[in-house]
């Protein structure tokens, strides 16, 4: 049996640091309820992310922007009720971290609901906020590249970091936010080479979604990897239900593919 499917201890920041040190890929999936939390935990997923993607895949909205802190807290509590050992990371929704003080008040609600860490989208402008949170015992996951809460500013869901100037800015943002206390990063929809450069430039794990195979781990939206969400799929999505007869089989296939480096393949990269 693969080591990640054997009886495991609670996944903590130290666990992730150990995986990062020995260069074992880290697995993350979005999760929104107790039943899937229990199943993903059983299948060896290290991190369960309560993404504000719930606005689209659970609520049927056309973006993540309308999601509220109360809604994320509700889904976080559901996930926490079903989880035993995985780390739980909860998204900070749009408009909930305009100042460090506001960020702390909202992040505290997610921690009380059962999150072990919060995720915040944005670059160096979040330096003071991340420092404020981590100094007050709230671990932070950064999110760079395509940040869906900035969809209107970006003019759509577009690959980021394609020019050298933009690439250098993202690398510098990662360094600044790491120094401020961010302990892990999600890198979304950036060229594979930039994913590699960011990963090499910092000393904490990177979790890629359309950021290439050289990140420290990978994440997908659960509804995408199970081929449930309707409509056109992003390039970085792979249907893990293909060839499987159960959802459990699909999740185990995802974990195995991330761990052995067969996902993402070249066709999933920019």
Rounded-to-integer distance, Cα 49 and Cα 17, Å: 18
Q: Please say whether the structural domain 13-268 has been given the CATH code 3.20.20.60.
A: yes
- pTM (2 decimals)? 0.95
Is 52 flagged in the annotation as binding?
yes
Residue ranges in the chain modelled with pLDDT below 50: none
pLDDT given for residue 155 in this prediction: 75
Tell whether residue 46 is among the known ligand binding residues: no
On whether 183 is known to bind a ligand per the annotation, the reply is no
Catalytic residue among 71, 109, 127, 188: 188
Does residue 25 contact residue 208 with C-beta atoms inside 8 Å?
Answer: no
Q: Is 112 annotated as a binding residue?
A: no
Instruction: Give the H or E element holding residue 185.
Output: strand 184-188
Residue 200 designated active-site: no
pLDDT in tens, 196-237: 999 999 999 999 999 999 999 999 999 999 999 887 889 999
Quick count: other Cβ atoms within 10 Å of Cβ 17?
15
């Amino acid at each position: 049996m693969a080591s990640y499917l054997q009886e495991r201890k609670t996944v903590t920041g130290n666990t992730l640091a150990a995986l990062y040190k020995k260069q074992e890929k880290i697995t993350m999936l979005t999760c929104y309820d107790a039943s899937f939390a229990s199943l993903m935990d059983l299948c060896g997923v290290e991190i369960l992310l309560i993404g504000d993607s719930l606005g689209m895949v659970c609520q049927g909205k056309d973006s993540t922007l309308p999601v509220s802190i109360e809604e994320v807290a509700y889904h976080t509590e559901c996930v926490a009720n079903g989880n035993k050992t995985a780390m739980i990371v909860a998204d900070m929704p749009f408009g909930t971290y305009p100042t460090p003080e506001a960020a702390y008040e909202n992040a505290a609600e997610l921690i009380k609901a059962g999150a072990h860490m919060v995720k915040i989208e944005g670059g160096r402008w979040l330096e003071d906020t991340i420092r404020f949170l981590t100094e007050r015992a709230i671990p932070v996951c950064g999110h760079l590249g395509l940040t869906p809460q900035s969809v209107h500013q970006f003019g759509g869901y577009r690959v980021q970091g394609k020019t050298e100037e933009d690439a250098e800015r993202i690398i510098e943002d990662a360094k600044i936010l790491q120094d401020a206390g961010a302990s892990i990063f999600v890198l979304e929809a950036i060229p594979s080479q930039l994913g590699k450069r960011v990963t090499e430039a910092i000393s904490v794990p990177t979790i890629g979604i359309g950021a290439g195979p050289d990140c420290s781990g990978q994440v997908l939206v659960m509804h995408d990897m199970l081929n449930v969400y309707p409509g056109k799929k992003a390039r970085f999505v792979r249907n893990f239900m293909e060839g499987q007869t159960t959802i459990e089989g699909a999740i185990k296939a995802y974990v195995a593919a991330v761990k052995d480096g067969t996902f993402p393949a070249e066709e999933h990269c920019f």
